[in-house]
């Protein structure tokens, strides 16, 4: 049934930092080959001058990230001044190569120190702490339906982990864990940052044979009142009294005469569509099986049911022969694996929306 996502304030946590390697990397590294899972993400950040290599020309992708390296990379991304300076932390002096970025990140609330006034600059960053600083740096507050077996509500990083999961920055491990105490390698950190910045790298975290829309594509749907255009991009939206900047599906629908914003998320259990800072609705439940039902509201009439598989559906874009048919209140919607939503009709069989083009 219809549910409300939890959007809680991000908790403060002690953040540790250390010194970033001084040498800039070239466009490629001898220890980051094309077959490296995160090759493209690393090069993306190199081109943006967010991450560098070491003086020997290597990147050392398996090396754990220190808190100083994390502060520098986040600071570069946010355009902070890296000039060395004194800081509020007694163990981060002007001699520390990361001091400028640490100072600015602390001023802007991205990172904090410990109660004893230290920053502990040479320790490695954990996955939980990484989630906190990334959620703050990217200003992510929209949550997720995804749950991790080893992440509980009492954990300091709980909300931040859920936020970056909902923003396609992390997916966790195949066993359903997040491993918040685990360390973060340089290649992993590069992937997380690239996903925070680019829809292309977010898309790489989702199943290629799923039913969600492709975040790198633009969609146009026919409707009786004109074309509906959908694009996933970073934008600034108004949500009630909130003005929020982030990645959303931006919908231009002539039926409403205004811009709408939605989010879509797919797990092993379901495909949902959500309105940021509001309700979410379940579009599909897995595994796909005719007769499967669920509720998208409190009323008995809010029942949703899978009423067909391998249905043939004609749209201006193409004719599909493998559509899943979902019925709700007399309306029928059609979803295709690897494509997403393609068509809907009303109780009289008249078209409500249909896929016109994918660019």
Hey, is 345 helix, strand or coil?
A: strand
Count CB-CB contacts under 10 A for residue 66.
Answer: 23
Query: So where are the chain's domains?
Result: 1-205, 218-358
What pLDDT, on the 0 to 100 scale, is given for residue 8? 31
Q: Which of 345, 349, 348, 347 is nearest to 222 (CA)?
A: 345
Rounding to the nearest 10 degrees, give the CA dihedral for residues 307, 288, 169, 59.
Answer: -140
Residue-by-residue DSSP string for 240-256: TTEEEEEEEEEEEETTT
Q: Which of 351, 357, 358, 319 is nearest to 333 (CA)?
A: 351
What pLDDT, on the 0 to 100 scale, is given for residue 293? 97
Tell me how far apart the alpha carbons of residues 59 and 203 are, in angstroms, rounded to a whole number. 25
Contacts of 20 (CB under 8 A, 6+ apart): 52, 68, 69, 71, 72, 73, 97, 98
Q: How many CA atoms lie within 13 A of 15 on its CB side?
A: 28
CA angle 307, 206, 328 (to 5 degrees): 20
For 24: left if phi > 0, alpha if psi spans -120 to 50, otherwise beta; the answer is beta
Phi, psi of 162 (to 5 degrees): -65, -35
Query: 259: part of which helix (H) or strand (E)?
Result: strand 258-266
pLDDT tens string for the chain (359 positions)? 444 443 333 222 222 233 334 344 345 799 999 999 999 999 999 999 999 899 999 999 999 999 989 999 999 999 999 999 999 999 999 999 999 999 999 999 999 888 899 888 889 999 999 999 999 999 999 899 999 999 999 999 999 999 999 999 999 999 999 999 999 999 999 999 999 999 999 999 999 999 999 999 999 999 999 999 999 999 988 787 888 889 999 999 998 888 999 999 999 999 999 988 888 999 999 999 999 999 998 877 789 999 999 999 999 999 999 999 999 999 999 999 999 999 999 999 999 999 999 99
Tell me how far apart the alpha carbons of residues 214 and 232 are, in angstroms, rounded to a whole number. 8
CA angle 83, 87, 89 (to 5 degrees): 140
Hey, is 164 helix, strand or coil?
A: helix
């Amino acid at each position: 049934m219809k549910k409300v996502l939890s959007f809680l304030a991000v908790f403060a946590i002690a953040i540790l930092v250390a010194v970033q390697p001084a040498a800039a990397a070239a466009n490629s590294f001898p220890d980051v080959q094309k077959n490296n899972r995160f090759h493209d993400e690393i090069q993306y950040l190199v081109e943006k001058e967010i991450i560098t290599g070491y003086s020997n020309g290597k990147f050392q992708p398996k090396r754990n990230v220190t808190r100083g390296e994390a502060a520098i990379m986040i600071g570069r991304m946010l355009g902070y001044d890296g000039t060395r300076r004194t800081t509020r932390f007694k163990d981060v002096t002007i001699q520390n190569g990361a001091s400028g970025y640490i100072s600015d990140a602390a001023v802007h609330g991205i990172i904090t120190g410990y109660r004893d006034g230290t920053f502990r600059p040479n320790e490695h960053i954990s996955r939980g702490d990484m989630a906190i600083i990334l959620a703050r740096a990217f200003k992510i507050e929209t949550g997720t339906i995804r749950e991790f077996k080893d992440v509980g509500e009492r954990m300091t990083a709980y909300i931040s982990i859920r936020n970056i999961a909902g923003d396609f920055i992390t997916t966790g491990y195949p066993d359903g864990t997040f491993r918040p105490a685990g360390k973060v390698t340089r290649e992993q950190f590069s992937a997380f940052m690239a996903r925070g910045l680019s829809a292309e790298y977010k898309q790489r975290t989702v199943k290629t044979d799923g039913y969600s829309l492709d975040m790198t594509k633009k969609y146009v749907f026919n409707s009786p009142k004109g074309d509906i255009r959908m694009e996933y991009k970073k934008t600034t939206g108004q949500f009630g009294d909130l003005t929020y900047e982030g990645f959303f599906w931006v919908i231009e629908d002539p039926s409403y005469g205004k811009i709408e914003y939605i989010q879509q998320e797919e797990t092993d259990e379901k495909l949902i569509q959500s309105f940021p800072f509001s309700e979410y609705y379940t579009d599909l439940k897995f595994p796909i099986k005719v007769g499967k039902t669920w509720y998208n509201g409190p009323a008995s009439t809010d029942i949703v049911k899978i009423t067909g598989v391998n249905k043939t559906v004609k749209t201006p874009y193409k004719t599909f022969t493998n559509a899943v048919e979902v019925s709700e209140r007399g309306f029928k919607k059609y979803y295709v694996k690897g494509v997403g939503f393609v068509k809907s009709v009303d109780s009289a069989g008249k078209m409500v929306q249909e896929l016109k083009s994918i660019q």
